[in-house]
Chain A
Amino acid sequence: MVQLRRLINGAAISLVGVFAVCSAMAQTLAPICHAKMSAPVEVVSSHQRSEAGTKVQPPITENQGFDWPDAQISALKTDSGYFFFSIDAGTHFRQLWHGQEVGNNNAGSVVRTTGTLDNPLGSEPPVDVVIDHNPDPKVNPHNCDPTRYPHSFCYTYIGGGPVYQVPQGRVGAGNWLLVYHAEYNDPNYYLLGLAISSDRGEHWTDIGEIIRFNTPFSYQGSPAGAAIGDPPLVTSPDGKYFYIYFQDWLKDGNFFTMASVARASIDSVLQAAFGGEKHYAAPFFKYYQGKWAQPGIGGLSTELLPNARYGGGLNVAYNSYLHRYMMLNSDSQNYSYAESIDGLHWTDTVFLGMLGYVPNIAGYSGPFGLGDDPNILGKEFYVYYTQFRGPWPGGQSVKRFTLTCR
């Protein structure tokens, strides 16, 4: 309030007015979905997942099995069904396969399956490939082979799921752009990066980091409370930007946010990724105190859900029925959602129900539209998640529930 008083002069009155409108918007925006959650159904059993692990290509090289899906399931719709994408958390050791060296000695991968909404695993062998290092080592020096460079600082995990297919008429049309999740242990932080594919997910190439926690967290046997996740790119209301939502780990004493956002112009991202001989990630900027000026790599960010209930992992998608963005939150037990018109100001979170029961938790949830674009939600949409059961890995299955706006 003291700061506001200081701002009140002739030039600042309109600014105060803007703040007031935004503040009122944040406080008064009410959810309109009134979502109803169905009972979950199992779409991939533990046994089916385990069996699929015997068929993946390239073959699994260590005995942890097919540790999938270790992130939310994302998809692109095809003429005959869907390509689904998620992560196999197992380590993918370097191996000679069909005359090529594959694997990166890291945990994580990009798994592409071909299936239907009722069977996202499908019957075809899953394609389980790693994200290859960029040919230019300057693009991402942290993504290196930990066995070749034992004294270097390499990721301990890199894998991804959300895929953006570049539409016709734009730079890189037809190529795929992937958001990956990576982990780095010295100092310890989680991060998001981009990878590209020109052959429908048979190969992926790292083009660099875009989001990193504001501060590393102390890794003392436990992961950070903030799971940065593996969120999708979301188109802004004006269609000019990619928004990406994540939990941030802050050094200002607030520990972590329930939801932060960063953006980059779509043109800049596509130009950098596909427009030249070298492929790299355009910089993203975090939203902080009303400005998009903080660097995506290590910058500060504003808490978008200051009064959040039942938060945790988050996923944002546009709902064309509501003409609003919807954010699904889950702490792997309790599920909730929030709505927003502009992607910045959100309703309070609405509790959906308790779905996971310690130790049988329900993690990695993601919303899924039933129309031509799975990233666009409607009146009714699906949420897929990983149902944990028993020791990890081994007993997990994939379940799905339906959310209906009433």
Chain B
Amino acid sequence: MTVAVGRDHTSVKNRVVPAFLLGLLALLLLCRSVAAQTFTELYPFNSTGNLSDGGTAEAGVTRDADGNLYGTTFFGGAGTGCDIYYAGCGTVFRLDGAGTETVLHSFSGATDGWNPTARLILDAVGNLFGTTGYGGAFGHGTVFKVDKAGNEMIIHSFAGGTDGDRPNAGLVQDAAGNLYGTTQFGGRGCDGQGCGTVFRIGVDGRETVLYRFADLPDGASPMGGVALDSSGNIYGTTWLGGTYSYGTVFKIDMCGSEKVLHSFAGGSDGANPLDAPVLDKAGNMYGTTAAGGAAGGSPLGFGILFKVDTTGQETVVYTFIGGLDGANPYAHLLVDAAGNLYGTAASGGVTGNGTVFEFSDGVLTPLYGFSSPDSNGQNSDGQYPMGGLITDSAGNLYGTTVQAGTNGWGSVFEVRP
């Protein structure tokens, strides 16, 4: 049976992608045309033909000083014990400057976790840190480390309950080496499921729950991890909960006190943020909401870019139209030294398969629109960039797509603006 789609949607192979036909004229007034750029598919997953190299990279990549890229894949690898099994339980991979991919760790689907969805971070000596939302000693997810040799070590297995459950977001590290993250469930409230937590893992590996959400008014289901400022304050978003149930932007100070900076009302101010905000040099926060933001003559909301200034005032800085500019930005933004923002929209764009965009001086410029896959689910660039972007010293942007690409299982890409 065909999956339902809305009035402004089309369906392809039983999957839903917004058609983004409305508002194209209005879009011309709100964002620049697609800028000249160079797109390169750096690596198409499933190059091995059996997914042993991974597939479906949801989280983007991180980069070391030598130019190697690191990331995770949800599927693929050599594991067999996971619940959502598709030729493996996910991987941690490295892609070198020559385009050679190496699987550093294949999740087995047991105590080492499975199906990672989060971005990785690197420490000064080249260790990678990440999370799996599933598996571990108690089945409620893990925080793991993978060293340069590819050895994986579980730093913390979540026990569920008050400890937290389903850490499906990326980590951040402070100057002292402590790791910070979120769990979608666990903690307290939400009919026993738990409304989620913010946690810290000290350099000694001990985990501390810094905050347990209660749904109202502070939010529920933080999905995107956190950001830190130089004073040690923690900032993040919740997908649900808050005054209007459409999610929140929150701050937790050094004393562990939480403050709701904004409760999304689900209208023009956006709804359902999925990733953490980023901070500019002045301390302003920028983030995305996956939904809401109805404007431009369309009854649908395709998400927004928002700013929360140092006083806690939220401002919508851009409302997605669902046209060439993209739709449904799921991921965190990248802010450069000049204060320009870069990001991805998981859908929308020229063919509805997602975009890479720049937002500067109040104007959004689509840098790249992904192409439609063929009947085999393949194309030359990828489809649906769900993760965020990183940059190098030359300003090149790097990210991942979850589907299509040359071999149909997503790609690692580079955009040179």
Contacts and interface: CB of A to CB of B under 8 A. Distances in A.
Interface centre among A181, A224, A307, A354 (most CB of B within 10 A): A354
A312 B300 contact: no
A329 to B, nearest CB: 8
Given A39-B221, A330-B4, A331-B6, A353 B272 contact: yes
22 contacts: A39-B184, A46-B84, A47-B84, A47-B85, A221-B375, A222-B13, A227-B5, A247-B4, A312-B4, A334-B300, A334-B301, A351-B301, A353-B291, A354-B272, A354-B328, A357-B386, A359-B403, A388-B3, A390-B56, A391-B86, A391-B377, A397-B84
A363 B4 contact: yes
Given A50-B85, A190-B2, A351-B301, 7 more contacts: A39-B195, A39-B240, A46-B85, A230-B1, A358-B328, A363-B16, A388-B3
B86 A37 contact: no
B206 interface: no
Q: Which of B4, B14, B17 has the most CB of A within 10 A?
A: B4
B15 A334 contact: no
B274 A227 contact: no
Contacts of A89: 1
Given A39-B221, A46-B84, A353-B240, A311 B7 contact: yes
Contact of A353 (B5, B190, B266, B375): B266
Chain B, interface size category, equals: 35 or more
A37 B403 CA distance: 30
Contact of B266 (A183, A312, A351, A390): A351
A333 B402 CA distance: 17
A332 B46 CA distance: 28
B2 A312 contact: no
Contacts of A391: 86, 377
B14 A392 contact: yes
Contact of B246 (A108, A310, A312, A353): A353
Nearest to A257: B7
A177 interface: no
Given A87-B1, A333-B16, A47 B83 contact: yes
B83 A363 contact: no
Interface size class of A (residues with CB under 8 A): 35 or more
A258 interface: yes
A36 interface: yes
B38 interface: no
Contacts of B13: 222, 392
A261 B12 CA distance: 27
B386 to A, nearest CB: 7
A332 to B, nearest CB: 5
Nearest to B346: A358
Interface in A49-71: 50, 70-71
Interface of B: 1-7, 9-17, 56, 74-75, 82-86, 184-185, 190-191, 193, 195, 220-221, 239-240, 245-246, 266, 271-272, 274, 290-292, 294, 299-301, 328, 330, 346-347, 375, 377, 383-384, 386, 402-403
Interface string A385-406: 0001111101101000010000
Contact of A309 (B191, B299, B386): B299
A38 B274 CA distance: 16
A361 B245 contact: no
A90 interface: no
Contacts of B292: 351, 354
Contacts of A395: 84, 86
A223 B12 CA distance: 7
Contact of B86 (A70, A221, A394): A394
B263 to A, nearest CB: 13
Secondary structure type dominating chain B contacts: loop
Contacts of B9: 225, 312, 331
Nearest to B348: A358
A354 B347 contact: no
Contacts of B5: 225, 227, 312, 331-332
Interface in A217-236: 221-225, 227, 229-230
B236 to A, nearest CB: 16
Nearest to A393: B14
Nearest to B383: A359
A181 B1 contact: yes
Contacts of A247: 4
A364 B14 CA distance: 12
B2 A353 contact: no
A312 B330 CA distance: 22
The residue among A71, A308, A313 with the most chain B CB atoms within 10 A of its own CB is: A313
Contacts of B17: 358
A45 interface: yes
B275 to A, nearest CB: 11
A315 to B, nearest CB: 10
Contacts of B16: 331-333, 356, 358, 361, 363
Interface in A87-138: 87, 89, 108
A334 B184 CA distance: 20
B7 A39 contact: no
Nearest to B298: A309
Nearest to A107: B1
Nearest to B195: A39
Given A71-B1, A312-B9, A331-B9, A390 B240 contact: no
A379 to B, nearest CB: 14
Contacts of A159: 1
A361 B330 CA distance: 13
B188 to A, nearest CB: 13
A330 B300 CA distance: 12
A308 B272 CA distance: 20
Interface in A279-321: 307-314
Contacts of A87: 1
A39 B4 contact: no
B1 A39 contact: no
Given A87-B1, A312-B5, A222 B11 contact: yes
* Most chain A C-beta atoms within 10 Å of own C-beta, residue among B2, B17, B221, B386: B2
Given A41-B193, A309-B300, A390 B290 contact: no
A164 interface: no
B4 A358 contact: no
A46 B347 contact: no
B337 to A, nearest CB: 31
Contacts of B184: 39
Contacts of A368: none
Contacts of B220: 38-39
A157 interface: yes
A108 B403 CA distance: 27
Contact of A390 (B1, B3, B75, B185): B75
